[in-house]
Every structure is written in C-alpha cells, then in structure tokens.
Structure 1
Amino acid sequence: MAIFLRIAAGLFLLSQIGVSSGQEQARIARGKYLMEGVVACGNCHIARAENGVPVFSKGLSGGMVFDEPPFKAYAANITPDPETGIGKWTDAQLGKAIREGVRPDGSIIGPPMPIEFYRRMSDADLAAIIAYLRVQPPVKNVVRRSEYNIPLPPSYGPAVKGVSAPSPRETIKYGRYLADIGHCMECHTPRDERGGLVLTSLGAGGQVFKGPWGESVARNLTPHESGLKSWSKEEIAQAIRGTGKNGMHYKPPMAFDWYKNISGADMNALVAYLGSLRPQPFGGKE
C-alpha cells in the first residue's frame, strides 16, 4: 500500500510539473506574440546600426538614442545579462519598471517610455512579457544613462495591480486595449508646449520625428477628412503594417517591422477602435 501511495504521489507530481511547464510555454508564446507584434518593445530596445537599421542578432540590448530638446534618452538593455541588462532584476522589479516606471533602485524612468499607457496592461500580459524577456539570450552592452532637462514626476501614480484585459469579443474595447499597450496614441496625439499629450485631440497626429530616416510626421488616426475617413479597413490595416494607401512605405519610428506580425483578429479590433475615435482635424487644429 505504501509503495502504491508513493507511486501515485510521484505520478501526480509529474503531472503537475507537466501542467506547469505547459502553462509557462503558453505564457512565453503570448509574450513573444506581444513583444514581436503590437507592444513592439524592440522598436526602441533593439540594437541598431549607425544608420538606424535594426541589428536583430544583438537582440534587445538597447542603445538607441532619442535626442529631443528636453532630454537625451538611451534605450536600456533589457536582455537578461546580469551586469548590463535585467539579469539581476526580480519579476516583481521588472513588472514595476514596465508598468509603473520605477527601477529597482527607486529611480524614475523618463520619456519616451510610455508608462501612462503601459499602466493599462493586464497582469497576464505583463507576466507573459516578463517570461519572454527571461528566455532571451543575454547580451553584454553598456548603455549610457539618460539625461533630462525637465523634472521627472515623483511617480506615475499608485501601484498597479489586478488589471484584466477586455474580452476579444468586445471588439472596440479590446481594440482600445491593444492600442494602449501598443502606445499608438503616444505618437499620434498632439503635444502641448510642455510636451504633454493633448488628450482632447486623441489620435489627431501632427507630432514630428527626426532621425537617420530624415523627418516623419504622425498621421491623423481619427475618422476625419484629414484622417482616415475615406480609408477602407483593409487600407488602414495595410498602413499599420507599414505600407500607405498610395503604396508608399512609411518611415520610422512607426514599428512596421513588428506590426506586420499582428494577427488578423487583433488588427480588426485595432481598426474598429480607430473608427470609434472622435473625428479631429489634423494636429487637433482647424
């Protein structure tokens, strides 16, 4: 009887290990889909050559420079390298950095990290992204600390926990969720003279981005005459993946190298959400 109980206990333990392993693999797969799709962290954190072209062989080892008037920021190394990356950070510390903008040493992460939008990320998707980051190859790459000529906030708000994503069956709500964690409006909403987003003109475009590619201007994503009113759903989806209505290939910082991996169902939800926005003139100005 004792032998039978030990065998049964062992089989139960093995079955639980199998379940746990399967859950972890599913979590990593979800994280891979998010990171290589709509969340597109690699658009900033991927290593890049001097001409701005992604160097995928060096992974998410950072170094991209954002040289704006109020700051000069450098994308962090988010590979599991223990010395120059996130290898020594706990899951809780990594989650706090992503969703609350606070590093393990208590310092605040500044722009262009879109913390205001990442605060809306679900607990499950945050865990999936962390699981994905854990299995990336560690890459040793020392990245300079960012420099700010503006005061950073003491925090971005209270601790975030207990966040759930809407059901994909709620198409527009789920589309908004995807747009939030994909921080679409971080680029496609006008900013005021202090650099803050003008949320009354959500999605109206107008921001100018300069880089090795030259200069690009964020489009108006609202269903206005100066925006997407005359565009079909298929044309909008194609544009999100990088090719405009007239066949022109869009410039960075549009994350088309990642957005091309967004599933058809998720793309439909994103397009439906954009169609629900209040029509706004380009840049929020008549």
Structure 2
Amino acid sequence: MKRTWVRALLGGLGALLVLVALAAGVGVFLAQQKMQRRVEPPVQPVAYRSDATAIERGKYLYASRGCVECHGSSGTGRTFVADDSGLRIAGPNITTGPGGMVAAYQPVDWVRSIRHGVDPQGRVLMIMPSEDYNRFTDDDLAALVAYVRSLPPGAGQGAIVELPLPVRALYGFGLIKDAAARIDHGLPPQQPVPEGATAAHGQYVANMCLGCHGEALAGGKIPGGPPDWPPAANLTPGEGGVMGRYPDADSMIAMFRSGKRPDGTPIAVMPFGSLREMSETDLRALYLYLKALPGRG
C-alpha cells in the first residue's frame, strides 16, 4: 500500500515536471516569435535641429530623464542590470563611433525608437522606456536628438538583453511586455506647456514616471523589472500613497537629490543618477501635480 502511494506521488510529480517543461518550452517559443515581430506605428518625422539652444535643452533631458542610466554619460552604452540568475541588460552605443547603432538613422528613425519602441526596421526594442518618452513634445524630442547627435563618437556595442528561461517564458505568455507593447501608438505628441512651477507643467514632467509607477501613478510591480525589485510606490495622495511623507516641495526635492526618504532610509531602484539632475522648476511643478492627483489606495 505504501509503495503504491509513493509510486503515485512520484508519477504525479513527474507529470507535473513534464507539464512545466512543456509550458516553459511553449513560452520560450512564443517569446522568440514576439521578439521577431514587426510593428509599424504611424510615425511623423521631427526635423533635425543643431542650434545651441536645442542642444543645451537636449543635454538637460538626457541627463535628467534616464537616458544616462542605460546609455552612459558618453552615450556609448552601459550595463544596468546584471545578476546571478542570468539576467543581463545593457543599453547600446548611440554615438556614431565603432559599434554605434545610429549612424544611419534618419529623422523618422529617431521618432520610431524614442516614441514607439521599435528600430528602423520595425522590430521591437525590448527595454526602451518609450512609454515615458512618447509624450515628449516635438520640441523636446528634437532637442534630445540634437544633443545625442552632438556626442563625440565613441566605441561601444549594441543592446544586450539576456533573459533567464523563466523570464523569457513569462514574456512569451504576455506577463512581461516589451517597449512597443506598452504604448498607445496612436497617442499624438503632447502640446507644449509653459515651463514653470505649475501643476500643468508638473503633469508633463510626470510623464517620465509612468513606466514604473503606472498610468495612474498608483504604483505596483514594475513592468519588466527583475523579480527582486520592490514594487513602485503609490505617488498619489491619501491612504496607501507616499506623498504624505513630503509636506512641502523642499522635502521632496531633498529626496530627489539624496536618494533617501525624510527618515534617512535609502530608496531602492529609482534612477537617482538621473533624477538628482532635475531642475528645481521641474521638481516643484511635479510636486504640485502629484499633490493634486486623486488618491488611489
């Protein structure tokens, strides 16, 4: 009787392992298909600019909107995720130097990559936060491109996206989305808002937060993030949100500059290398906008 029970248990475990292996195999197959798909969003080119004003604005956006976290301060690429599970992600070289990816880019290609998360051939860019950038005004997109095109040529390599098998399977089944799948490709460019310490300008600045904190900025699991990353904070006021920790704009600005909460504890994951470069005007506007949001517990 005991042997029969043990055999049944082992048989059940074996069948379960076979099912898991089959599911993983299907997931990896689906992932490969999704990585090779082509996306053809409606794209309108934004004309190149090369004037000093545009380059200076682009330099600020590059430094403060997360570009440096993936592509490095020189634009030659940077490994920003690497752990023992086999997960490794590196941003590509976006200069015109050896290994650079943009030497042949035309104005329309920059729009595809930045706003829509696809390369010039329409293939998806796996780890491009285009859901944050597709709301750039045309002026800001042109400024960012102007600065990147002004970078000195440097040696680097293409993007590296090495995903462990479980992550590939989750991506294949749609539980993790790539850049192009997280975007409303029909969304028109945002119209310019006067820059100043206003909630209206703060809403424009807050676009950079959507990729991690969600469309409603209510936080939760970070899409595509490693499993050990903590959930993104709820940025709305009220119960469950973190804005109660910041009674005024100065306290939030101190957090952006230091990477620490008011009680001195460090905040994980947030790209403070970029965030601390944000201007006081942008941060004061962001504070006003976040404090005016409806609470979402």
Q: What is the deviation of 1:249?
A: 3.3
SS in 2 for 1:207: coil
**Which structure 1 segments of 5+ residues have no match?**
1-21, 47-55, 190-198, 282-286
Q: Match of 2:239?
A: 225
Secondary structure of the corresponding residue to residue 52 of structure 2: helix
CA shift in 2, pair 1:66/1:161, >3 Å:
farther
Aligned residue number for residue 202 of structure 2: 175
Q: Relative to 1, partners in 2 of residues 1:145 and 1:103: Cα closer, same or farther, differing over 3 Å? A: same
Deviations 1:38-77 (A, max 9, x none): x12112222xxxxxxxxx5x5442333477x9x8654222
Greater Cα shift, 127-136 or 219-228: 219-228
Distance 1:105 1:42 in 2: 25
Give the alignment's Cα RMSD to 1 decimal.
3.2
Q: Is the 8 A contact 2:131 2:182 kept in 1?
A: no
Deviation at 1:84, TM superposition (A): 3.0
CA contact (8 A) 1:61 1:139 kept: no
Give the Å deviation of 1:255.
Answer: 1.7
Change (3 A) 1:186 1:161: closer
Q: Quickly say closer, same or farther: Cα 1:246–1:139, change in 2 above 3 A.
A: same
Matches within 5 A, 1:95-110: 95-110=111-126
Q: Deviations over 1:109-132 (max 9, x none)?
A: 234x22223221100000000011
Taking only the aligned residue pairs, the percentage that are identical comes to 29
Please name the residue that 1:35 is paired with.
Answer: 62
The equivalences for 1:245-256 within 5 A come to: 245-251=262-268, 253-256=269-272
Q: For 1:86, which of 99, 102, 123 is the aligned residue?
A: 102
1:82 Cα offset (Å): 5.5
After superposition, where does 1:147-162 map in structure 2 within 5 Å? Answer: 149=169, 150=171, 156-158=183-185
Query: Which deviates more, 100-109 or 25-34?
Result: 100-109
> What amino acid is the match of 2:256?
I
**Which stretch shifts more, 143-152 or 237-246?**
143-152
Greater shift, 150-159 or 167-176, is seen at: 150-159
| Residue number in structure 1 paired with 2:15 | none
| Distance change >3 Å, CA 156–CA 40, structure 1 → 2 | closer
Which structure is larger by alpha-carbon Rg, 1 or 2?
2
Q: What is the aligned counterpart of 2:70 among 44, 50, 54? A: 44
Quote the residue 1:7 is aligned against: none
Residue 235 (structure 1) shift: 1.5
Query: Residues 83 and 125 (structure 1 numbering): CA distance in 2 closer, same or farther, change over 3 Å?
Result: same
Partner residue of 1:260 out of 276, 285, 297 = 276
SS at match of 2:79: coil
Q: From the superposition, tell whether residues 138 and 61 of structure 1 become closer, same or farther in structure 2 (CA, over 3 Å).
A: farther
1:251-284 deviations in Å (ceiling 9; x for gaps): 3x31212222212111110111111222122xxx
- After TM superposition, the structure 1 = structure 2 runs for residues 47-126 of structure 1, keeping only pairs within 5 Å, are 56=73, 59-65=75-81, 73-81=89-97, 83-111=99-127, 113-126=128-141
| Aligned CA distance change for structure 1 residues 72 and 160 (closer, same or farther; 3 Å) | farther
Task: Look up the equivalent residue of 2:266 and give its one-letter code.
Answer: H
1:143 equivalent to 2:158? Answer: yes
- Higher alpha-carbon deviation: 231-240 or 268-277: 231-240
Write the letter of the residue equivalent to 1:138: P
Equivalent position of 2:213 in the other structure: 188
Counterpart residue number, 1:166: 193
1:131 corresponds to 2:146: yes
Aligned partner of 2:25 in structure 1 is none
Q: Which runs of 5+ in 2 are unaligned?
A: 1-48, 163-167, 173-177
The alpha-carbon distance between structure 1 residues 78 and 160, as it changes in their structure 2 partners (threshold 3 A), is farther
Q: Which whole-Å CA distance do the structure 2 matches of 1:116 and 1:102 have between them? A: 12
The TM-score normalised by the length of structure 1 is 0.68
Alpha carbons of structure 1 residues 92 and 44: separation in structure 2 relative to 1, 3 Å:
same
Give the number of the structure with larger relative contact order, counting CA–CA contacts within 8 Å between residues 6 or more apart.
2
From the two aligned structures, give the one with the greater helix fraction.
2
- Shift, 1:210, TM fit: 5.2
- Cα deviation code 1:203-230 (max 9, x no counterpart): 223436659xx75442221112332124
1:133 deviates by: 0.4
| Cα gap change, 1:162 to 1:218, in 2 (>3 Å) | closer
